[in-house]
Amino acid sequence: MIGARSAVLGAVLAIAVAIAYQGVVGLVEASGARDQPALILILLLAAFLGVLTAVATRMLRLPGATAPTVLVLGWTLVPVVLGAIPSAATALFAGDAALTTGQAMALATATVAAAVTLGVPAERR
């Protein structure tokens, strides 16, 4: 039962990560930042998203490897799956399987942030 719970909550978190990342990119594009400042903003917000994902997995008492897995699935698999659904609601969050350089750097930054956050020891009792 624990494996099914982890899989379902991991899938929900992966969808949330994909939606949050598209929201982050939309906010950065709306801010008017160009080239280098936009990449730096996206990297900072991706690291924050990685930390939030790690905190969410810890709060839900999911296995430690769930956060990096959720981040990778949220950036690579979920946009492709959402792109396969012919709907205006999913088209906003859809993407293709090819990551741009900025997306790959943001993914790596968020994954490292999640791994570092999960490496911090929990409260001692």
Answer whether 2's CB lies under 8 Å from 42's CB.
Answer: no
CA distance linking residue 44 with residue 94, whole number of Å: 22
pLDDT band at 125 (very low <50, low <70, confident <90, very high): very low
Kindly report the average pLDDT of the chain as a whole number: 80
Q: What is the CA radius of gyration of the chain?
A: 15
Query: Domain boundaries in the chain?
Result: 2-119
Say what the pTM is. Answer: 0.75
> What stretches of 32-100 show up as alpha helix (H) in DSSP?
35-59, 66-76, 78-84, 88-91
> Over the stretch 40-85, which tens digit does the pLDDT of each residue have?
888 888 888 888 888 888 888 888 778 888 888 887 778 878 777 8
Following DSSP, what letter does each residue of 102-114 receive, concatenated?
HHHHHHHHHHHHH
> What tokens were used for 125?
């009792």
